[in-house]
Structure 1
Amino acid sequence: MGIVDGLGAAASSVRLRAVMAAGTSAEPGLLEALVGRCAVEPDFFVRDMLTWALTRLPAEVTVPRLVVELGSSVAQARSQALHTLSKIGDRSVYPVVSGALLHDGDDEVARAAWRTAVALVPEGEGERLAGELVREFGRGDRERRLSLSRALVGLGSVVEPVLEAAMGSVDEAVREHAAATGVLLRDPEVGFDAAVHEATRIMALG
């Protein structure tokens, strides 16, 4: 069985071996097959190996193709492309990553966009990115909120003015999320639930 056929095999172990072979050979001709598989692969470990295989290909070929994939109607295709771009580390894609994808309707895509944008943000753009990210404060479940807080903490002290402004929001959920992120910024080791508890206490005290 060839690599391309192996990528579509029923058994995840066979697909994994095919992806490993693709990464080992680093043959640019496999680009389309690998990118196409990213959109539909159900197994986390195989998807992770797909990212590795794509990073083995020449960036000048892979990056433009992944940027095209960011416009896919398939959420998994967008999130996997973002994840792979973050591993390649080509900062030229930052303008695409830091736009509408930060506010994608799919949680996994949005979270991948936050992580990728923080990883690729150019010098001097951190505060502007933070301003975009805080627009997502107070939305979604615990995991989504934790991901957003971690992304902001990853930007460092440049987020402090933005957090302070968010603390003045009329939306209580936004204020709480901003305060919890501030707690995490001061002490990244504290758990998110503890940070939320501390944020609630801070707001109660005014």
Structure 2
Amino acid sequence: MTTLEQARRAAYDLDPTIRQRAAVHLGTLGDDAQSAELVALLVAEPDFFVRETLTWAVCRHPQAALPHLLAALDDAPGARVQVLHALSKIQSPDAVPQILPFATDDDPAVAMKAWWALGRTGTPEAAPALLPHLGHGDEEQQRELSRALEQLGAPGVAGLTDALSTTDPEVRLHAARALVLVGDPAARPAAAALVAVAEGDDREIAMVALEALAALDAPEVEPALERLRDGEDRFRSLTAQWLLADRAERRG
């Protein structure tokens, strides 16, 4: 019996330690032909650490595993979080149409993992599925959406820019926080909108917009910071002064 055959048998052992060793061997020794079985093991695995190792093994052969993972989204509803986790590591744009429905799943854990998987593809098609969730949900959901938009990068910036001018302050705040994470250079097209928020919105949103703005290498940034530094709002003035000094130090 070969080592690969021994590992396949060991993957069904009752002892999770043995299953984890088997997953390592399967990931190391296996080829595309093992992808279907590895995905089946992944969706059935009850132990967190073994699942993580199986996820690594599955993602060693991403193209071969992809159709089996996509099928598992429908066939194994109890394992959707782990399947989406694996899809987020593969980062295939081809998976976007199958992932999109789960961005609005009733289970927050599934929805958040779908956001992450969509963001990691970096495709424009992901943006319309992520942006409507701005300003909604609890702190964890907002944080995970921001992380997904950070991963998405440039394709989400136009929508985040539009969100800065909505009437809902929670949406504006969340959009500004996401733009902080997106950063330069992807967020440069949002510079003018961030200036408007920094100069005109309530202080909490303005401070976040200032943080996002100060990281950008855009022509609007220095004049806006100088206006705020010389303005009457003492808190914004001190913040802008510090940000100008920090930008000068970084340039130096």
> TM-score, with normalisation over the residues of structure 2?
0.61
Unaligned runs of 5+ in 2: 185-201, 208-232, 234-252
**2:22 counterpart of 1:25:** no
Richer in helix (by share): 2
Tell which deviates more after alignment, 4-13 or 136-145: 4-13
1:84 to 86, 90, 100: 86
**In structure 2, do the counterparts of structure 1 residues 17 and 176 end up closer, same or farther at CA, with 3 Å as the change threshold?**
same
Distance 2:174 2:60 in 1: 39
Q: Are the aligned partners of 1:72 and 1:78 in contact in 2 as well (CA < 8 Å)?
A: no
| Number of equivalences | 187
Distance 1:78 1:88 in 2: 15
Distance 1:31 1:182 in 2: 38
Q: Are the aligned partners of 2:173 and 2:205 in contact in 1 as well (CA < 8 Å)?
A: no
Pair member with larger Rg: 2
How far off its partner does 1:96 sit?
2.2
Matches for 1:1-206 after TM superposition, within 5 Å: 2-27=6-31, 30-57=34-61, 59-60=63-64, 62-72=65-75, 74-75=77-78, 77-97=79-99, 99-122=100-123, 125=124, 128-186=125-183, 201-202=204-205
Partner residue, 1:193: none
**In structure 2, do the counterparts of structure 1 residues 149 and 39 end up closer, same or farther at CA, with 3 Å as the change threshold?**
same
How far off its partner does 1:156 sit?
2.7
**In structure 2, do the counterparts of structure 1 residues 22 and 114 end up closer, same or farther at CA, with 3 Å as the change threshold?**
same
Q: Deviations over 1:9-44 (max 9, x none)?
A: 343211101111222231555444422332243433
SS where residue 71 of structure 1 aligns? helix
SS where residue 153 of structure 2 aligns? helix
Tell which deviates more after alignment, 5-14 or 47-56: 5-14
How far off its partner does 1:68 sit?
0.6
Q: Let me know the Cα RMSD of the aligned residues.
A: 3.1
Aligned AA (1:50): L
**In structure 2, do the counterparts of structure 1 residues 81 and 171 end up closer, same or farther at CA, with 3 Å as the change threshold?**
same
Q: Bigger relative contact order, structure 1 or 2, given CA contacts below 8 A and separation 6+?
A: 1
SS where residue 105 of structure 1 aligns? coil
SS where residue 39 of structure 1 aligns? helix
Q: Are the aligned partners of 2:43 and 2:76 in contact in 1 as well (CA < 8 Å)?
A: no
Distance 1:103 1:46 in 2: 28
Q: Deviations over 1:156-184 (max 9, x none)?
A: 34433312322344444333322322333
Distance 2:17 2:23 in 1: 10
**In structure 2, do the counterparts of structure 1 residues 202 and 89 end up closer, same or farther at CA, with 3 Å as the change threshold?**
closer
Unaligned runs of 5+ in 1: 188-198
